[in-house]
Amino acid sequence: MEVTLLGTGDTTGTPTPGCGCDTCRTARERDIERSRFSVHVHNEHTDESLLVDASPDLRAQFLAREVALPDAAVITHIHFDHLDGLGNAFRLFADLPVYAANETDPETGESVGDTVARKYDYLDAVSTRAVAPFESFRTCGFDVTIVPVEHPPLACYGVVIANSATGAKLSITGDTNFGIPERSRAALADPDLLVADAIVPAHLCEYHPLGGDHHDSAGVPRTFGTKHMTREGALSLADELNADETRLVHVSHFFPAEEAFAEPLAVDGERYVL
């Protein structure tokens, strides 16, 4: 299993257009980018590839990283920075199966799968496959499971990708706060690689109107506001899940420049063989 982190940034990416902050300036100087979130997973045994989330930056990501176009995709939730790259399916694919949850979201009145099908009904290449959380399905030679996480107010899911032939396991938290349900934590546990949402360091919670949440025993917030984990929250989750290796993604340009490019914060283009 070869994992390529195509996009490791939050909704505006780093550098953020029009921003002259120290972090964005440093990213430009170092030629580092964190584009909108997307992960490419290649199965070397079947020569198939799975895409997790369709970044609006999809075209540029695939050109820059020279990875194969996906044979299937999984969409974790309906925010534009994870979904709207599906429009790139036009004239690129004859058929792209897109897997998404079948649970109705009370906030929208439809499931993630329903939203994908409705928004992209004009694309003959996109065929939506609605799947139930915790029920594994087979695609690209992988056993894939979506698991509910907490990203209010919308339904959102993490993804577990396992290769039964090699025993390799990749866990992706999706966009989430630290309050991931226990059943989902159990499914995500013991990965070779954990790709975890970590939008800011905990000390920036003082600037959020809602502050932080899910404080640890030392009072450090593991959730920024209500929607995303802090760096400290993601690392705490990694410890709980017994992850062999952890990369932090959905990283914002609000990280101070002296912290923004330190380990284990990921940048676009990183590759891991599991």
pLDDT (tens digit per residue) in 15-45: 999 999 999 999 999 999 999 999 999 999 9
Per-residue confidence (pLDDT) for residue 117, from 0 to 100 = 97
Of the pLDDT bands very low, low, confident and very high (cuts 50, 70, 90), residue 177 is: very high
Please give the single-letter amino acid code of residue 127. Answer: S
Of the pLDDT bands very low, low, confident and very high (cuts 50, 70, 90), residue 166 is: very high
| pLDDT > 70: percent of the chain | 100
Sign of the Cα torsion 16, 21, 23, 27 reads positive
The residue whose two tokens read 């390529």 is 4
Instruction: Tell me how many domains the chain contains.
Output: 1
How many CB atoms sit inside 10 A of residue 7's CB? 30
Q: What is the value of pTM for the model shown?
A: 0.97
pLDDT (tens digit per residue) in 189-220: 999 999 999 999 999 999 999 999 999 999 99
Of the pLDDT bands very low, low, confident and very high (cuts 50, 70, 90), residue 80 is: very high
Which residue range forms the structural domain that includes residue 101? 2-273
pLDDT (tens digit per residue) in 115-154: 999 999 999 999 999 999 999 999 999 999 999 999 999 9
Q: Quote the mean pLDDT of the chain.
A: 97
Do residues 53 and 24 make contact, with C-beta atoms less than 8 angstroms apart? no
Find the CATH number of the domain harbouring 267: 3.60.15.10
Per-residue confidence (pLDDT) for residue 243, from 0 to 100 = 98
Q: Spell out the residues 6+ positions from residue 29 whose beta carbon is closer than 8 angstroms to its own.
A: none
Of the pLDDT bands very low, low, confident and very high (cuts 50, 70, 90), residue 56 is: very high
Per-residue confidence (pLDDT) for residue 49, from 0 to 100 = 98
Per-residue confidence (pLDDT) for residue 147, from 0 to 100 = 98
Q: In a 10 Å sphere around its CB, with 0-12 CB exposed, 13-18 middle and 19+ buried, how is residue 21 labelled?
A: middle
Per-residue confidence (pLDDT) for residue 93, from 0 to 100 = 92
Of the pLDDT bands very low, low, confident and very high (cuts 50, 70, 90), residue 107 is: very high
Encode burial over 60-78: b for 16+ CB neighbours within 10 A, e otherwise. ebbeeeebeebbbbbbbbb
Q: Single out the residue of 51, 103, 91 nearest to residue 73, CA to CA.
A: 51
Per-residue confidence (pLDDT) for residue 101, from 0 to 100 = 98
Q: Spell out the residues 6+ positions from residue 186 whose beta carbon is closer than 8 angstroms to its own.
A: none
The alpha carbon of 127 is separated from its chain's Cα centroid by a whole number of angstroms, namely 21
Do residues 147 and 156 make contact, with C-beta atoms less than 8 angstroms apart? no
Per-residue confidence (pLDDT) for residue 242, from 0 to 100 = 98
Per-residue confidence (pLDDT) for residue 7, from 0 to 100 = 98
Give the tokens for residue 122.
């004009």
